[in-house]
Structure 1
């Protein structure tokens, strides 16, 4: 491994593998074994993560999947953290086509959020990758761009726009993570979601003294805890409330 292969002399401060994703340098093509390249490494890592979870991804495991030595991978990827970024880039893909001209900001931003949610729910292992910084790869920046475009004519300041994108994006990510964790717990129980929720409500009703937890008692008496909601309804309900808040801010700024 040489400095030119994994340094940051391209002027971006990014690792060579990330610069290659931007087309700023050629992807290494000469290696100890012809046919091993960055795309194959990333594809193999994604396949392992999809089948066994992110924890199964290691440089040694990917090398084994490809039938090469672990050291040979470092010609293409400097570290596992770089590999994670490239896996995200491969999985998230380009954002969907932007809404038709004239589409309102609210509809455009809601479509952006739902499209991200679909990506997360198809690749739940993706949510286990630690967030190491702002978008730094072509597809992730393209998603950022499309979210900002939804707010382009709202009258919000640039700082306010990116803050709103972070709020909405954080909500999407949190919802997907919560659903993934609940899904694992429910699957481990061997019961249906309705059975798990009803058992929890019954247990809580026995434990929560109404004098000490009057609002919890009121909730339990309403029976809503015994009826699982449609996850799509829950997501849309929360998203609409966030968009309501953004709408208030836009009106304060005198925007559309």
Structure 2
């Protein structure tokens, strides 16, 4: 087991330690040209084309034209491969904002950048969360988020909780958007037509005496209006940050 920069053992898989530069990547494999980067790249391409469910050690080996067992020289298990795939597509976070940038603008940029990343790599949203950030790029994203909150006066615990809250919102919004888009695509009609049919069906099923609020919503015809791009995301993020602003003022007043 390899030690980190402070001399403590990391407890991380060998491939993740290699990503941190704590150990050498295997230089030669059982097949010329095979490398950890090629394995991860093939897995990412497979996930992008067919979804995360298509990724297995056997399938990746087939794509590379090698035996499944040859992959285990580089990566210990499929879950470990998932981590390396996520690390590869995440990349480093955006550059820090200019000095003096308001915390709200800084954390908004952080959240929007995450959303762009997820929407370009929807399969990442299907990767099981197995623990806190433990790869170089994922830790760099957390560093960037924490830096955005430095001027708020919030303590470390509050800052971590806020990053979990905001990143969770971004993931959920991205996942919901992806699922709805997939449902619309499979229906073969436009999103507007899907919502129109939904509203028509709901009017037939929802008795106004039992569902008065739903009936009022349907009568307003708001479901018939075309969606404004990104409105739901921006609305939700703004409301979260409104709450953060109240918390900041509360903490300042208390101190």
TM-score tier by shorter-chain length is over 0.9
Structure 1 residue 9, shift from structure 2 partner: 4.2
Match of 2:220 in 1: 222
Partner of 2:93: 95
Deviations for 1:43-68, whole angstroms, at most 9, x for unmatched residues? 00000000011011010111111111
Q: Which blocks of at least 5 consecutive residues in structure 1 are unaligned?
A: 1-7
CA-CA distance at 1:205 after TM superposition: 1.1
Match of 1:150 among 145, 148, 151: 148
Q: Name 2:187's counterpart in structure 1.
A: 189
Equivalent residues in 2 for 1:193-212, closer than 5 Å: 193-212=191-210
Deviation at residue 231 of structure 1 after TM alignment: 3.5
Counterpart in 2 of 1:33?
A: 31
Q: 2:6 is matched with which residue?
A: none
2:121 counterpart of 1:128: no
Distance of 1:109 and 1:89 partners within structure 2: 21
Give 3-state SS (helix, strand or coil) of 2:153's partner: coil
List per-residue Cα deviations over 1:138-160 (Å, max 9, x = no partner): 00000011011111111101000
The separation in 1 between residues aligned to 2:187 and 2:227, in whole angstroms, is 19
Question: How far apart are the structure 2 equivalents of 1:213 and 1:155?
Answer: 45
Query: What corresponds to 2:237 in structure 1?
Result: 239
The unaligned stretches of length 5 or more in structure 2 are 4-8
CA distance in 1, matches of 2:225, 2:204: 18
Task: Find runs of 4+ consecutive structure 1 residues off by over 6 angstroms.
Answer: none
Aligned equivalent of 2:78? 80
- d(CA) in 2 for partners of 1:121 and 1:40? 24
Give distance in 2, aligned partners of 1:9 and 1:238: 43
Asked if 1 retains the 8 angstrom alpha-carbon contact of 2:2 and 2:22, the reply is no
Residue from 59, 62, 66 that aligns with 2:60: 62
Query: What is the CA distance between 1:247 and its match in structure 2?
Result: 0.4
